[in-house]
Structure 1
Amino acid sequence: MAPPRRKDAGFRTIRRRSLLAGGAALGVLGATGCSRVSSADAKDGGNLLERLRSQGTVRLGIAGEIPFGYIDKDGEFTGEAPEIAKVVFKRLGVARVQPVPTEFASLIPGLRSQQFDVVSAGMYINPERCRQVVFADPDYRMRDAFIVAKGNPKNLHTYEDIVRTGAKMASGTAYAEIGYAVNAGVKESEIAVLPDQLAGLLAVEQGRVDVFAGTTVTVHNVVKQTGSRKAEATEPFQPMVDGKPDIGAGAFAFRPEDTNLRDAFNGELRKLKKSGELLRIVRPFGFTENEMTDLTAEELCKP
C-alpha cells in the first residue's frame, strides 16, 4: 500500500504514514457510483459542506492499513480515522461515509483530482504535505515500539540499544523506523525489510531477528491479537533524529480550497477531544491516552 522508501526523502518523511504522496499515479479505487463533487469553483470551499449535506454522503480516501483505515474481514468499513469520520460528519449533517480504497501514495493525488472528498487514513502531517493539502488538527500522536523475544533478553528499548548490542533488526516496507535506526547508527544494509508487523512478529518468534520496529499501536496490536507466547511488545518510546524528537501525528486532509469544511471538521474534533469521546472512539483500535494530543496542524506544518 506504500511506495518504496525514497532515498532522498530524509528521515523525517519516510514512514508509510508520512511518505509524501505527490505525483504518484492513482491506485485502483474501490467501486463508487458517485460522481465527483467539485469544489474548485467555491470561494474558500464555501459550499462543499452544503453539497455533501445535500447528497448525504462523503467519500473518504483510505489506504487499507490496520488500524488506521481499512475494510475488515466482514467487509465492514472501519479503522481509527473512519470511525472518527462517521461521528464528525454525522454531526455536520452528512449521514453516510463511503470508503474509496487506494494506495497510500495515491491519497493526495486522488484527493486533489476529486476521486474522493477527504483523506481518512491517519496521514502524518509534515511541511511537504502542507504545501499540497490542508490538514485538520491531528487526532493522534504516535510513538514507536519493538517486538522482541519474550522477556526481552537483549534489553532493547531504543534504537541506540540495537547499536549497543548488535541486535539483528527488522522493520516494515517503507517504515520510518528504518531511518530512525540508521540515524542512531544501525547499518541499513543489515536491517531486514519485511512486508508488515505480522511478518515481523513471526521473524522474532522464529529467531531470525532480535527485534522488529514499528509504531506502538501496530506493534502492540499484533502481539495482542495473535496471543503470541514467544514474543512481546516493548513500552512506547519517542524516536529521535539528530538529537530532536521526531513527532508523528496523523490527521484528516482536505483540498486547499476546502478550508471551510476543514474548519467545520476541526470544530467537531475539538469537541470530541474535550469531552473524551475521541479516546472512546479510537480505543478499540489500540489507541490509548498516550496517543492523544493537543498539537495543531499549524505547528506541524512549520518547516
Structure 2
Amino acid sequence: MRKGNPKHIQTYQDIKKTGATMATVSGLVNADAAFKEGIAEHKVMQVPGLTEVLAAVKAARADAGAGNEFAMKDLVKSAPDDIEVTDSAALPEWTFDWVAIAFKPEDKDFLKAYNKAQAKYLGTPEMLETVGKFQYMANQLPSDTKTDWI
C-alpha cells in the first residue's frame, strides 16, 4: 500500500469496491484469492517477484501489493517512506496460511504427547523470543482455530 493508504484498502473487497489495482507475485495464492473475492482479472497485476510488486506500488501502477505478511513487512523495511502494511487480520479467515504437521494414524500416543508439549510451548515468552527473529508475533498464534476447519 502506498504510504497513507489513499484508497483506504484493507481487504480484497476494498480493492474490488474501489476499482483498485493489486500487484502480486505470479504463482502466489494472492492472485487466486483476489479472483475468488471477485476482483476482475485485469485488476490483478502478476509480476515476477517482490521487487516488482514494490516498484509497481511505488510508481502508482498498482494501488496495493499482496503477498504473505512476512514478505510485505520486509518490503516496507526497504521503502518505509513510500509504502505501509495493512493489518492482515482484516482479511477473510479462509485466506490465512496454516502450517500443518501430519502423523500416521497408528501414532495416536505420539500425537497425544506432541499436542500436550505443543500446548505448553505455544505463546510462551521462550517461543516468541525464538521465532521473533523471523517476524512471528503473538497475534499470529492459532488461538482457538481447530484443525478440522483448516
Q: TM-score, normalised by structure 1?
A: 0.43
The reply to whether residue 239 of structure 1 matches residue 88 of structure 2 is: no
Indicate how the Cα distance of structure 1 residues 199 and 253 shifts in structure 2: closer, same or farther if over 3 A, else same: farther
Question: Following the alignment from structure 1 to structure 2, what is the Cα–Cα distance between the partners of residues 172 and 263?
Answer: 39
The structure carrying a bigger helix percent of its residues is: 2
1:163 shift after superposition: 1.5
The residue aligned with 2:135 is 286
What are the equivalent positions in structure 2 for 1:22-33 lying under 5 Å apart?
none
The reply to whether residue 160 of structure 1 matches residue 29 of structure 2 is: no
Q: Percent identity?
A: 28
Question: Following the alignment from structure 1 to structure 2, what is the Cα–Cα distance between the partners of residues 272 and 184?
Answer: 36
Match of 1:229, as an amino acid?
A: D
More relative contact order, 1 or 2 (CA 8 Å, 6+ apart):
1
Match of 1:233, as an amino acid?
A: V
1:295 shift after superposition: 4.3
The reply to whether residue 195 of structure 1 matches residue 44 of structure 2 is: no
Name structure 1 gaps, 5 residues minimum.
Answer: 1-147
Q: TM-score, normalised by structure 2?
A: 0.79
The structure carrying a bigger strand percent of its residues is: 1
Match of 2:2 among 142, 149, 163: 149
- Counterpart secondary structure, 2:67: strand
Indicate how the Cα distance of structure 1 residues 155 and 296 shifts in structure 2: closer, same or farther if over 3 A, else same: closer
Name structure 2 gaps, 5 residues minimum.
Answer: none
The reply to whether residue 249 of structure 1 matches residue 115 of structure 2 is: no
Q: CA RMSD in A?
A: 2.6
The reply to whether residue 213 of structure 1 matches residue 66 of structure 2 is: yes
Question: Following the alignment from structure 1 to structure 2, what is the Cα–Cα distance between the partners of residues 296 and 155?
Answer: 29
Equivalent pairs, count:
148
